[in-house]
Structure formats: structure tokens, C-alpha cells
């Protein structure tokens, strides 16, 4: 089956409503991080506090997501995502109200953390649904699941393009607070729709037994570390972009500029389905991280928005292939009953990395400007390259074992 035919088959199985709902429901998380940074930094004049607040949101989301994923493995996604969507929307609304009321910095950071804790990780949970959705496709299932993961990677990256763009548009047309209130409304509506969609019933059920199978393995540690570093890229690059755009007198453009990272990444993500199957996910990860390392260096040379747009757009072309490889490899090697937990752990690592990147970059930017923030991106990609290169044999061995059902069962 060709990649295009596989995409058509996937969308037929899931239905167009699900595809739209699952995509829009993930936008609020992408919007909330930049929205919080712009809201708090604009109100206080401190990128350090803005970065700390956005980082607190990301860290809390990183802490809460695996817990929610574990509950989804046991109970199914419906109730878990529904509660998270409504609570997350309420928390974002409260954050806007407190910032406008000049609340104490500690209170602002705490409520930002509450918002992160309660927001669902729709992207990872959507990945979990594809295996039961394709359950009746027989020998085509492995290929369809791989293509589904390519689509999900592209959808995630598109959300990180459109989310910041919506924030930038909201800042220009209304205000940073208005942008976050838009995210809250979208989460309440589309998060609820994602929770109640019929596909949520295909993944376990209330009262199911506790999931079994080992979760924390050396391979998963490598993959989690890789996602933490790609999250650092997001946080540091977004902060450096915001600083440069603000210095140019166009703070609202920061989201639009950062969106170019996701545009290139989304296109590359869709194209990943056309890579020959003989090139395994571990080799795809190595190729992508090599490109990320090389393509991050020009960030240190940019001194204006036009150059930054070009550099970020090219850099983005390697992001989705990297993340798709990581999530695909995890789905293959993790025990089937622990997949939702594993997916949310990986997403949590991304959020934690965003927090690390935005916090460190924010503090460095306060003292040394945007170039110092972008230096955090370059260092993170250097570490990621070394990590993936040294772990190749371990990743290959894990995939070899996963291809042998009798060994996996043992």
C-alpha cells in the first residue's frame, strides 16, 4: 500500500470529524506556553519571570501527563481527558485574571503550574488510539500504524506552528490575555469533543485491570532524554525569537516567526511516510538529529527577523522526523498495555525540556540578548547528537527483540 493510499485508509477508518477534533484539541497546549510567556513578560517587564511562568506550566504538564496516561491505560481516555479539558480551561482563565489583577509573582507562577498540570496531552493520547482503530486491517496494520505516527508527528508540529501563530494574532488583534482566553475556550470545546469521541471507547474500559509489562527500560530512558533535548530546543528557540522580535518593536510577531519552525517540520513529518521501511526508526532518529545539530548553528548569526524566519524554517524540517522516529520506536518496544503511559512520558519529557530551555534562555537573554538564548538550542542539539549516536546499538537490539513475539512475551 502506497503512503497516499495509507493516509486515505487511516482517515476513512477514523472519520473526518475525529481527525479535525484531535488536531484542534492539541492547539491549546501549544498556545499556552508562548501565551503565558508573552502575558507575564508584557505585564511585568521581565523575561525571567515570563520564562519561569511558562516553564512552570510546562514542568507541571510534564509531571501530570504520565499520571493521566497511566489512568488512561487503566480506565480509558474518556473520563480522564474530559476532566483535564475542563479543569485546564478554567486554570488558563484564572491565570489571565490574576495577571491583570497584578497578583504576586509567586501566585502567577503557581497558577501557571496548575494550568499545566490539568491540561491534557492530546497528541500522545491520539497516537494510542490508532492501534485499536486499525485493529481489523490484518497484515496492513503495522504499515498503517507507522503512517499514522508520521501523521501524528506532522500534526503535532503543525500545532506548534498554528498555536504560536494564533497567539501572535491574538496579541496583535486583542492582547496576550485574549490569546490565552482563546486557548481556554478551544480546550473546553475541542478537548471535550476529543474525550467524548467514539474512538475513546476503543481503548480499554472502566474497571480494567492494572496494566502489566515493564515500562522503564534503558531504551525508554534514551528516548525520554532525546525528547527532553528536543523540548529544550523548543523552549530556547521560542524565547530567543521573542526577545529578538521585542527588540525589533514587534513582540506580537514572535508567535508568527516561531510558527515557521512548525511549518517546515509538519511538511517533513508528512513526507516521513515516504521513507523506505528498510530504514528503521533508530537510523531515522540519527539522521534527523545530525541535521538538527548542523542547522542550529546559524541561529547564532541572526540579527534580524527576516534572517531568523529563514533559519528557523529550515531547522524545523528536521524536527518532526526526529520526533516521529522517537515515538515510533517507543510504540514498538514498549509493552502494549503501557503504551499510553509511555507516550505521555515522552510528551512530558518534551514539556520538561521546554521548561529547561525557556528558563535558562530567558535568564541568559535578560543579560546577554537573543544570541545567548539561541546558544542554548545549539548546545542541546550537540548533546542530543552524542546521545543518539552512542545509543544506536542499544536501539537496534531493542527493535530486534520487539520483532520476536516469543521474546517480547518472555
DSSP conformation letters of 359-380: HHHHHHHHHH-HHHHHHHHHHH
Domain range enclosing 210: 3-409
Can you tell me the distance from the alpha carbon of 330 to that of 399, in angstroms, rounded to the nearest whole number? 9
Provide the number of structural domains found in the chain.
Answer: 1
Strand ranges inside 13-100, DSSP E = none
DSSP 211: P
> Confidence class of residue 379 from pLDDT cuts 50, 70 and 90?
very high
Distance in angstroms (rounded) separating the CA atoms of residues 264 and 210: 40
**Shortest CA distance to 78 belongs to which of 207, 214, 181?**
207
- Cα 312 to chain centroid, rounded: 17
What's the confidence (pLDDT) of residue 387? 92
Segment 13-68, tens digit of pLDDT? 878 888 899 999 989 988 888 888 888 887 777 777 887 888 788 788 888 888 88
State how far the alpha carbon of 26 is from the alpha carbons of 56, 176, 238, 348, in Å: 19, 19, 18, 14
DSSP for 197-230? SGGGGGS--TTPPPP-S----HHHHHHHHHHHHH
**Amino acid 303: pLDDT:** 84
**Residue 208 banded pLDDT, cuts 50, 70, 90:** very low
Identify the CATH number of the domain in which residue 106 sits. Answer: 1.20.1250.20
Q: Which residues contact 185 (CB under 8 A, 6 or more apart)?
A: 89
DSSP secondary structure string, 1-35? --HHHHHHHHHHHH-HHHHHHHHHTTHHHHHHHHH
How does residue 245 score in pLDDT terms, banded at 50, 70 and 90?
confident
Assigned C-alpha cell, 298: 546559524
pLDDT in tens, 72-99: 777 778 888 999 999 999 999 999 999 8
Question: pTM score, two decimals?
Answer: 0.72
Amino acid at each position: 500500500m502506497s503512503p497516499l493510499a495509507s493516509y486515505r485508509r487511516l482517515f476513512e477508518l477514523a472519520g473526518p470529524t475525529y481527525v479535525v477534533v484531535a488536531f484542534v484539541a492539541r492547539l491549546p497546549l501549544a498556545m499556552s506556553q508562548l501565551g503565558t510567556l508573552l502575558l507575564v513578560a508584557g505585564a511585568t517587564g521581565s523575561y525571567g519571570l515570563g520564562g519561569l511562568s511558562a516553564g512552570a506550566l510546562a514542568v507541571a504538564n510534564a509531571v501530570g501527563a504520565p499520571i493521566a496516561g497511566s489512568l488512561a491505560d487503566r480506565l480509558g481516555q474518556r473520563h480522564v481527558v474530559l476532566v483535564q479539558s475542563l479543569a485546564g480551561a478554567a486554570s488558563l482563565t484564572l491565570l489571565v485574571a490574576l495577571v491583570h489583577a497584578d497578583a504576586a509573582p509567586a501566585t502567577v507562577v503557581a497558577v501557571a503550574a496548575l494550568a499545566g498540570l490539568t491540561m491534557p496531552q492530546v497528541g500522545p493520547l491520539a497516537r494510542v488510539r490508532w492501534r485499536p482503530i486499525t485493529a481489523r486491517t490484518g497484515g496492513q496494520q503495522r504499515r498503517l500504524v507507522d503512517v499514522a505516527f508520521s501523521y501524528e508527528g506532522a500534526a503535532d508540529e503543525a500545532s506548534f506552528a498554528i498555536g504560536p501563530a494564533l497567539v501572535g494574532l491574538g496579541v496583535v488583534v486583542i492582547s496576550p490575555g485574549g490569546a490565552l482566553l482563546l486557548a481556554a475556550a478551544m480546550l473546553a470545546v475541542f478537548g471535550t469533543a476529543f474525550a467524548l469521541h467514539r474512538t475513546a471507547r476503543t481503548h480499554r474500559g472502566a474497571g480494567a485491570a492494572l496494566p502489566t509489562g515493564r515500562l522503564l527500560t534503558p531504551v525508554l530512558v534514551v528516548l525520554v532524554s532525546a525528547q527532553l533535548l528536543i523540548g529544550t530546543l523548543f523552549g530556547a528557540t521560542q524565547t530567543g525569537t521573542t526577545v529578538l522580535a521585542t527588540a525589533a518593536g514587534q513582540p506580537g510577531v514572535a508567535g508568527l516567526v516561531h510558527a515557521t519552525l512548525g511549518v517546515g517540520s509538519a511538511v517533513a513529518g508528512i513526507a516521513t511516510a515516504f521513507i523506505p521501511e528498510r530504514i528503521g526508526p533508530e537510523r531515522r532518529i540519527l539522521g534527523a538529529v545530525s541535521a538538527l545539530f548542523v542547522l542550529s548553528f546559524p541561529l547564532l548569526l541572526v540579527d534580524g527577523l527576516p534572517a531568523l524566519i529563514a533559519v528557523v524554517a529550515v531547522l524545523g524540517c528536521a524536527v518532526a522526523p526526529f520526533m516521529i522516529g522517537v515515538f515510533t520506536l517507543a510504540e514498538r518496544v514498549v509493552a502494549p498495555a503501557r503504551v499510553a503511559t509511555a507516550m505521555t512520558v515522552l510528551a512530558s519529557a518534551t514539556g520538561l525540556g521546554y521548561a529547561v530551555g525557556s528558563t535558562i534562555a530567558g535568564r541568559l537573554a535578560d543579560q546577554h540578548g537573543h544570541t545567548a538564548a539561541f546558544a542554548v538550542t545549539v548546545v542541546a542539539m550537540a548533546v542530543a547528537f552524542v546521545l543518539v549516536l552512542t545509543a544506536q546499538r542499544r536501539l537496534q537490539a531493542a527493535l530486534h527483540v520487539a520483532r520476536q513475539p516469543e521474546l517480547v512475551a518472555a
